[in-house]
Structure 1
């Protein structure tokens, strides 16, 4: 019988049939926002063990690590083999932190454009003004009764990470909120 390392499940986006590329909503001028499903994306949750927060943070320098709570992070990477990021972090953080691969369990949607803040403001009480929520800042919030890990990645670009099981209903809600501004799905 083959060993389990010979079997890998392909990462299939739950939005593959829903996030159809094209222009939608208001058609005047340029679209106010663009949506991109960041797929495939390696996502690993890292939770520092008691007293190991600083040491864990030091190991994570050089990675794309987003705050997810006190001494907790989501570490993201594109173009990595199945389980590679998890295995790498598990080895580097041995004794310092617990790690869990979330690549199959979460979906990350990027919303960008001049109206991104206006769309997000329809669903979150987080103050998204750049002075209060600058690039690199993350928050745990809810939108449309769905838990969302929200990160500003750039001036008018935000990543929204949701649990896979809620991604389709969240997609429907967020795109409906963007219709008045027009939106592009890439």
Structure 2
């Protein structure tokens, strides 16, 4: 396995930044997701796609919007549009495993691993920081754990999944990752943040 260079550049280095007089209230980090895949169902095949993903990745999904799931091996998935799921995990073989499990009669599987960067943000003010950037309700009642959505910030497409009570993962096109990471850092300056 060849390790990919981070697109975030030298500005994204470990340390504490911003106004942390009251303590550091969020942590921002780049996450390693060796496999990132989009699975899309043909019209009328949404349920069959969810069943195929359950078989391939041990994920319990339904075709409704916003839902998501995760398994013990670190594979997670969430709905990013009608009949569309973003699936990620620690294995480079994820795309191949899903291609084998999803027949052409059900839908398509596209490997996005080379074209996405995953940023994590966690801490007591994670919702506060994200609400500055996206017109979404990040309260846990409206955005429960494992749920997700596809959105954008100033023309930069972002898929967001809540992975814990105060933890989110953001999938960004690799070519925009540095710019978006800098935007996320600026949004976190008033609460104090740590890069890990």
Work out whether 1:156 is the aligned partner of 2:166. Answer: yes
The aligned counterpart of 2:84 is 72
**2:108 maps to which of 95, 98, 105:** 98
TM-score, length-normalised on structure 2? 0.84
Higher Cα radius of gyration: 1
Aligned pairs, how many?
Answer: 176
In 1, Cα distance between equivalents of 2:111 and 2:10:
24
Moved beyond 3 Å, runs of 4+: none
**1:23 maps to which of 16, 20, 24:** 16
User: SS in structure 2 opposite 1:15?
Assistant: coil
The aligned counterpart of 1:182 is 192
For the 8 Å contact 2:7–2:177, the answer to whether it is kept is yes
For the 8 Å contact 2:41–2:84, the answer to whether it is kept is yes
The aligned counterpart of 2:73 is none
User: SS in structure 2 opposite 1:89?
Assistant: helix
TM-score, length-normalised on structure 1? 0.88
Displacement after TM superposition at 1:10 (Å): 4.4
**1:89 maps to which of 93, 98, 101:** 98
The aligned counterpart of 1:4 is none
Displacement after TM superposition at 1:148 (Å): 1.1
Work out whether 1:37 is the aligned partner of 2:16. Answer: no
User: SS in structure 2 opposite 1:152?
Assistant: strand
In 2, Cα distance between equivalents of 1:103 and 1:11:
11
The aligned counterpart of 1:3 is none
In 2, Cα distance between equivalents of 1:40 and 1:152:
16
In 1, Cα distance between equivalents of 2:161 and 2:169:
5
**1:120 maps to which of 130, 133, 140:** 130
In 1, Cα distance between equivalents of 2:11 and 2:85:
29
